[in-house]
Structure 1
Amino acid sequence: MILYGISTCDTCKKALKALERAGKPVTFRDIRAQPLDEAEIAAIVAEFGDKAVNRQSTTYRSFSDFLKASEPEAQIKAQPTVMKRPVIQADRWYLGWDAETEATLTA
């Protein structure tokens, strides 16, 4: 299982700790230190579409009008931290960390 996020994200930290406590093998991928390649971005956007971009983030709000009107792939490529976090690749893809995702992945 791969958890894509950033090391300073509280939600990513919470998810990582919960998965480790449950004894799940998880690899943390800091998307700042190891940026996503085009294939990874395409796979995430294919799975989640526009939901892959966190439009509430300060990163998104700082985008130019041109970038805000761009495709999600271009937005994530320009600034990876605009991606909603965490993105977890396991038996399938998961976006975010809520009670349902936690129950599924820590069972």
Structure 2
Amino acid sequence: MTLFGISHCDAVKKARAWLDQQAIDYQFHDYKKSGVPEVALDRWLAEFGWQTVINRRGTAWRALPEAERVQMDTAGARRAALLNPSLIKRPILVTATATRVGFEPEYWLTVL
């Protein structure tokens, strides 16, 4: 199981603390330090759509030029996320059987 995110993100900190409290083994992939795995990003975009994968409430989104935000599509979201991983909603939990965007402990219990 892998938890994807950025180590200083509050939601990621909560998710990691929760996993630790549950004594659940996981790998943490910090995409600020290690980059975004393109295969994983492609899978997330295909499964959830760019509107779910891209955090449109954050400062990274607001920092994009308005024209880019207005014309955003899957290909644009992919390019933008690879250039600036802070655009990706956090955390993303990937297990052998499920992937979930966002920290939802009630749901996580059903797939762990």
TM-score tier after normalising by the smaller chain length:
0.7 to 0.9
Aligned residues: 106
1:57 aligns to 2:62 (yes or no): no
User: What TM-score comes out, normalization by structure 1 length?
Assistant: 0.88
Matching residue of 1:35: 35
Identical amino acids, percent of aligned pairs:
27
Matching residue of 2:104: 98
Moved more, 87-96 or 37-46: 37-46
Moved more, 2-11 or 71-80: 71-80
Instruction: Give the 3-state SS of the residue equivalent to 1:4 in structure 2.
Output: strand
Q: Structure 1: where are the runs of 5+ without partners? A: none
Q: CA offsets, 1:50-71, max 9 Å, x none?
A: 2000101110010013432233
Determine if contact 1:4/1:87 at 8 Å carries over to the other structure: yes
Matching residue of 1:76: 81
Instruction: Give the 3-state SS of the residue equivalent to 1:35 in structure 2.
Output: coil
Q: CA RMSD in A?
A: 1.6
Change beyond 3 A, Cα 1:38–1:99: closer
Q: Structure 2: where are the runs of 5+ without partners? A: none
Q: CA offsets, 1:58-95, max 9 Å, x none?
A: 10010013432233212211211111100010121011
Instruction: Give the 3-state SS of the residue equivalent to 1:28 in structure 2.
Output: strand
Deviation at 1:98?
A: 2.6
Q: List, as ranges, runs of 4+ consecutive aligned residues in structure 1 with deviation greater than 6 Å.
A: none
Q: Matched residues in 2 for 1:39 and 1:98: separation? A: 24
Determine if contact 1:15/1:102 at 8 Å carries over to the other structure: no
User: What TM-score comes out, normalization by structure 2 length?
Assistant: 0.84
Letter in 2 for 1:35: G
Moved more, 5-14 or 61-70: 61-70
